[in-house]
Amino acid sequence: MNYGKLLSMMAAVAIPAGGLVLMAPPASARAPIVVSAPVPADIVTRHIGYADLNLASSAGEMALKGRVRGAIASLCGEAIGGNDGRLTTRLNDRYCRSAAWTQATPQIDRAVERAHEIASTGTSTIAAAGIAIVLPK
């Protein structure tokens, strides 16, 4: 895994995504926007849905974190080419999982915060969005 590419990819995803979140009107005003583009062969991506979960409850939040954990395991297995038991592979897997959680955690936090706002006020200023994790192979 090329970690310079990882940092570049994280910035390439975070900057436009942050702009969309800042410019987006409240989620109650319109449906979420989905932007698609071809994914290069040297990039692995996982999208984690949670529309069926009540994130205002601790059980819903735990279920989402379990989904993210599974997606990260799958994503890192693909990104590093499997687990051959070597120390370097295990270290790459650990770094990959850390980088993936670094991307996912703020997205989880926003989703949970949005759910709590909606539960308490009936609306939220945080736009609805799925969770996406993008890493280089």
Query: The tokens of 128 are what?
Result: 């609805």
Q: What is the pLDDT of residue 136?
A: 87
Q: What is the mean pLDDT of the chain?
A: 81
Q: How far apart are the first and last CA of the chain?
A: 5
Residue 52 carries which DSSP code? Answer: T
pLDDT attached to residue 85: 85
Higher pLDDT, 32 or 64: 64
pLDDT tens track for 66-119: 999 999 999 999 999 888 889 999 999 999 999 999 999 999 999 999 999 999
Strand ranges inside the chain, DSSP E: 43-48, 131-136
Q: What number is the average pLDDT over the span 40-66?
A: 93
Residue 19 has pLDDT above 80, yes or no: no
Q: What's the confidence (pLDDT) of residue 98?
A: 95
Higher pLDDT, 69 or 33: 69
For residue 42, the model assigns a pLDDT of: 83
